[in-house]
Amino acid sequence: MLRASKLLIPLLLAAVAVGGVGLWQRFVFGKTYLAFGSYIPWGLWVGLYVYLVGISGGAFLVAVLYYALDVGSMRRPSRYAIPFALASLGGGLALVQLDLGQMGRFWTLFTRTSAASLLGWMVWVYTLYALVLAAMLVAMALEHRRALRWLAFTGFVLVVTFGGGEGALFGVLGARPYWSSGSLPIRFLFSSFLSGMAAVTFAVAAFRRWPADAEHEAASWFLRRALLGLLALNILIEAVEVSVTLYTGLPPVVEIYHLLMFGPYWWMFWVLQLAVGLAIPLALLASPAGARPAWLGLAGLLIAVGYAGTKQNLVAPGFLVPEFRRLPEAFVDPRLSVTYFPSATEWYVAAGVIGAAALAFLVAIEALPFLKNHEEWGSERRERRRVAA
């Protein structure tokens, strides 16, 4: 077992145990111990759902580069990309399931979905994507390159669909000016590409089983430049969106941006989103030290963490400014508030779900032989096929 796995697995098991406490509170007491309310129905869990599902789609891009586009340097990272994508997708869907008021009725999204419902279509796309990921794991075990190629193309279409679809879920809400933007699907898609590739870069740096040979150097070279390009593109998209939005001067939107930048949680924007997620990784990757695996992995980790802050800064702030200014004063109740900070139960569950997803990834790369010993596994299967022929 890798040293990093030995260190992380006990911590992840502890996180899962903490999550168990939160799950017990959620199942027994419903939403009593959650910080949601009538004015802010979405919070930490929805932000993490968007985060984890987006990272899953971005991680899948690494597999597409190798299996569909024949980028040879991505051969080894692509092996980690598929189990990572499946684990993060499962974590994201688990969180949004727990966020439902009536969790037992989730199946109605399959049986009673309106053809005009974006959310209904997203459920089907997620399901198909999960099946593609599972099929790719089987094809990897069988070393079936042709099947992997077609599955990679199919999965990429689904990733683009739900990557933009997540943005559309928010962008079509015209009653919320902060979200209502035609550029939101593009922002979601390219930020997921950046964060997912960054997360796989960190996983490769922390859990690689292969030597630092020429192929590893080629993979590091490609990942470094891909992250630099995606970082530059995301900075450009965000700068254009913020500058144009603020220039229009819509009072509700300007007020929310003012709260983001100078309100109680200013550090989420300036420190987590901008410094940790963009500026520091950009400096690391652009410097000569950015070619070193350790610095490359650190930059990937920082981008992935900063991306979590980006999604939290998107979800809850959309509810901070009420549609009617006097509404919070007209009816006074703890559930009728436009302020939000996650409760202990929300933090417990979030820690448990993220810990379980990370643990599933580690168990996969440690236990599945075609992931743990993929160099020998592939050569042995090719040799058996050659002898059988």
Which pLDDT tens digits describe the chain residue by residue (389 residues)? 777 788 889 999 999 999 999 999 999 888 888 887 767 788 888 899 999 999 999 999 999 999 999 999 999 999 999 999 999 999 999 998 888 877 777 777 777 777 777 777 888 899 999 999 999 999 998 888 899 999 999 999 999 998 888 888 787 777 777 877 778 888 889 999 999 999 999 999 999 888 888 888 999 999 999 999 999 999 998 888 888 888 877 787 888 888 888 888 888 889 999 999 999 999 999 988 777 888 999 999 999 999 998 888 888 777 777 666 666 666 666 667 777 788 999 999 999 999 999 999 999 999 888 887 766 655 555 555 555 55
Q: Which amino acid type is present at position 225?
A: R
Question: DSSP per residue over 2-51, as a string?
Answer: -HHHHHHHHHHHHHHHHHHHHHHHHHHHTTTTS---SS----HHHHHHHH
Cα 382 from chain centroid (whole Å):
35
Q: How far apart are CA 53 and CA 49, in angstroms?
A: 6
Q: Which amino acid type is present at position 54?
A: G
For tokens 């941006």, what's the residue?
257
Q: Which fold has domain 3-388?
A: Formate dehydrogenase/DMSO reductase fold (1.20.1630)
Evaluate whether 58 touches 233 at the Cβ level (below 8 Å): no
CA distances from 365 to 26, 64, 122, 208 (A): 31, 19, 29, 10
pLDDT given for residue 351 in this prediction: 95
Evaluate whether 287 touches 228 at the Cβ level (below 8 Å): no
What are the sequence ranges of the domains in the chain?
A: 3-388
**Containing H/E element for 129?**
helix 118-142
pLDDT given for residue 377 in this prediction: 58
**Containing H/E element for 193?**
helix 184-207
Q: Which amino acid type is present at position 354?
A: I
CA distances from 6 to 15, 82, 247, 322, 325 (A): 15, 22, 52, 48, 53
The first and second tokens of residue 154, run together, are 């199919």
Evaluate whether 216 touches 210 at the Cβ level (below 8 Å): yes
Looking at residue 316, the DSSP 8-state letter turns out to be G
The first and second tokens of residue 110, run together, are 């399959």
What global pTM score does this model have? 0.90
CB atoms within 10 A of CB 326: 7
Evaluate whether 318 touches 338 at the Cβ level (below 8 Å): no
The first and second tokens of residue 118, run together, are 């974006």
